Amino acid sequence: MNIIEINRENLIHNVNYFKGITKAKICAMVKANGYGHNAVAVAQILSNYVDYFGVNNIDEAIELRQNGIKNNILVVGVFEKEDIANAYDYDIELTVDNAFRLDEIIESNLAIKVHIAVNTGMNRLGFCVNDISDVVFRCKNSNVILVGIFTHFATADMDKEYFDYQIKSFNQALSLLDTKGIIIHASNTSGLSDKRVHYDMVRIGIGLYGYGNKNLLPVMKVKSKVVAIHKISKGERVGYSNGYIADEDCYIAVVPLGYADGINRHIARRVYVRINGKLYLVASNICMDMFMVKVDKDVKLFDEVVVMDNADIWAKELDTIPYEVLTGFEHRRFNLIVK
């Protein structure tokens, strides 16, 4: 009854859009279960269109391998010592971001493929620029197979000055190295409008899922069905804490999704859902497994409810970003449909 629907055509439209604006290799970011879309489904659709998949951790990488994904896979987050043997067995590329984790890889004596993360100002993961020559030297003189070097931008879409500062720091790190045969990568979706940062590969996340510019098409729809309808009079109350008081005689439709499914409680009285092409307000407070919508006589039992098909709208109402909206749904409680 509750469905997360992934639109294959829109996903392919989005990846082709990016292939049209860059010649660089594409690393499709499918971390956090493919930004909440189902990483395996997304990777299976994109496997012939992209070079790499980017995940956060080794478990996400292994899940892709176990589901037949043969592309290169890069873990952009941190790994634990126990993950190193799996990285070798499953041919997964790891990010090295500090001396401690580089030591662990070297001590493993396994031929592990790595990408060096450079901290150019995000201050999340990565070696500082001045340490890079030394790190590369250690990689080249050990069991490590140095595949790539990258940085990550904190502000590509909002603070040009800081963006330029990060580019300058990254280029400075690169200038100290012989980068022949090493994949250089930096840009996320919002950096892509600047050709300077395309380098050899771009890591695209949110754009693939349809957000970031107006040429892109949203890939995810969250759908449900009306499971009960009540005719109520002006002044009647609806839901916990009398969350809605009817301002006129109306109908109330019950939708079997709640905060346990990842429906944010703050959408109440702010967000509209679509039933038979018409928008209706989420009226009541969100319950654990249900919410109620103010509807009219046109809505019938078991009508389809499009709960979310534009994460930008939810993000605006919830004072957050589409990333958080998309990754917020509790997949175990939905059926996945790839259309």
Ligand X SMILES: Cc1ncc(COP(=O)(O)O)c(C=O)c1O
| Contacting residues toward ligand X, per CB under 6 A | 29, 76, 152, 188-190, 203-207
Q: CB-wise, 202 or 257, nearer to ligand X?
A: 202
27: helix, coil or strand?
strand
The candidate with the shortest Cα–Cα distance to 307, out of 248, 333, 231, is 333
CA distance 47 to 275: 34
Residue type, 201: M
Question: Helix 39-46 vs helix 58-66: angle between axes, to the nearest 10 degrees?
Answer: 60
- Which residues are annotated as catalytic? 31, 240
Exposed/middle/buried for 212, CB within 10 Å: 0-12, 13-18, 19+?
Answer: buried
Q: How far is the CB of 102 from ligand X (least distance, A)?
A: 18
Q: CB-wise, 112 or 216, nearer to ligand X?
A: 216
CA distance 248 to 268: 18
Minimal CB distance residue for ligand X: 205
CA distance 298 to 278: 10
Q: CB-wise, 95 or 285, nearer to ligand X?
A: 95
Q: How far is the CB of 271 from ligand X (least distance, A)?
A: 23
Q: How far is the CB of 260 from ligand X (least distance, A)?
A: 26
Q: How far is the CB of 292 from ligand X (least distance, A)?
A: 34
333: its two tokens: 């409680």
117: helix, coil or strand?
strand
Q: CB-wise, 71 or 190, nearer to ligand X?
A: 190
